[in-house]
Amino acid sequence: MKKGWGILALILASQFLCAQRTETFVKKRYDPDYIESYYNDLIVRIYNADKGNHVTLNDGGNELGIKYRSNDSFKLGAGLNYKWFGLKVGAVLPFSDKNIEKFGNTSSFGLQSYIIARPFILDVVALRAKGYYATLHGENAGRFQLNDGVYSLMGDLKTSNLGVNFIYVLNSKRFSYKAAFNQTDLQLKSAGSFLWGMGLSSFKVENDVGIIPSEISSDYFVDWADLIHFHSYSLYGSFGYAYSLVPFRKAIITASTSLQIGFRHNRMKYVDEGVAILRKPGIGGEVRLSGGYHFPWFYVGASFVQTQFNSDVRFRGLQIANGTSFLEFTISKRIKL
């Protein structure tokens, strides 16, 4: 999001689970030797965040890959959490753009929300972006002229990401995602948990003059030379593990990863050949990292979330992958009510 106000992310965490809870009932939902709840306290925060979007195309048979990256800006915002309610509002920082002459301009709009309850996480993503820059990788990348690592600017390349991802925490009585990512809990002892989940997503990339640059498609990505529109629908299940290390009181380091296995319905549109449909299995993954420390008057921490889903869509090793990432630095204050 390059101009004006940035994302308004309204995080509403599962009122149908939380609204009926009394404090006594809440205490029965976790082990007080491992978790201290701040459910009835107000958490206020300021944060600095950056989110990114990328598309990767690989021609495995010819050892060449293209990665399209958005040119994103850091955003400054404020937020609060109280009981089941959370709100964040952010705006683009002045002078935070990368070199537009080198990386081009990306315009984007969307919502990226992480609803964190004690037994589960619900991710909601709705992002649209236009304007990417291309980098090359693989053994044959050296055959093309690069400008300090950048191959070309794709100002008319557009993407759309829509998705819902649900993760259930099996050991929520002792392991708390809330402690790691929104500070409405305090993790007292190190603990981990297995995770399972499911998700549904839609991904689209399009460019009226071709998704693959013409200089490359003459020798590589031959089957995609005239591809102008790619749309994929995904349904998947996931399994993973998360662990929070408490090296000393009020410090926390959390890492989690999940493997996603599912099915993709791919729709490809070409300039002269009409529409092709291909249904294939897909595999992907998700990583969440967080760390911070509760000082006497405030909390300081950082978190990172990245997801990626892959699919083989043609023969000869051609593959497309899309992913999103979110990086945030936070200073928060707990206010007892």
Please state, as a whole number, how many other Cβ atoms lie within 10 Å of the Cβ of residue 51: 23
What 3-state class would DSSP assign to 204?
strand
Q: Which residue has the tokens 């729709």?
A: 267
| CA separation for the pair 246, 47 (Å, rounded) | 23
* 200 touches 234 (CB < 8 A): yes
Domains of the chain: total? 1
Residue 36 is assigned to a structural domain of this protein: no
pTM: 0.82
Residue 81 is assigned to a structural domain of this protein: no
* Helix then strand then coil, % of the chain, to nearest 5: 10, 65, 30
Q: What's the CATH number where 202 sits?
A: 2.40.128
In tens digits, what is the pLDDT along the chain, a chain of 337 residues? 444 433 333 333 333 333 333 344 444 589 999 999 998 999 999 998 887 788 888 887 778 899 999 887 778 889 888 887 887 877 776 666 667 778 888 887 777 677 888 899 998 888 888 999 999 988 888 888 788 788 888 889 999 989 899 999 999 999 999 999 989 999 999 999 999 999 999 999 999 888 888 888 878 887 788 889 999 999 999 999 999 999 999 999 999 999 999 998 988 888 877 788 888 888 889 999 999 999 999 999 999 998 887 766 655 567 888 888 889 999 999 998 8
Residue 169 is assigned to a structural domain of this protein: yes
| CA separation for the pair 204, 320 (Å, rounded) | 11
Residue 13 is assigned to a structural domain of this protein: no
Residue 266 is assigned to a structural domain of this protein: yes
Residue 287 is assigned to a structural domain of this protein: yes
Can you give the residue range of the structural domain that contains 113? Answer: 48-72+98-326
Rg value, the chain, Cα: 22
Residue 8 is assigned to a structural domain of this protein: no
Residue 80 is assigned to a structural domain of this protein: no
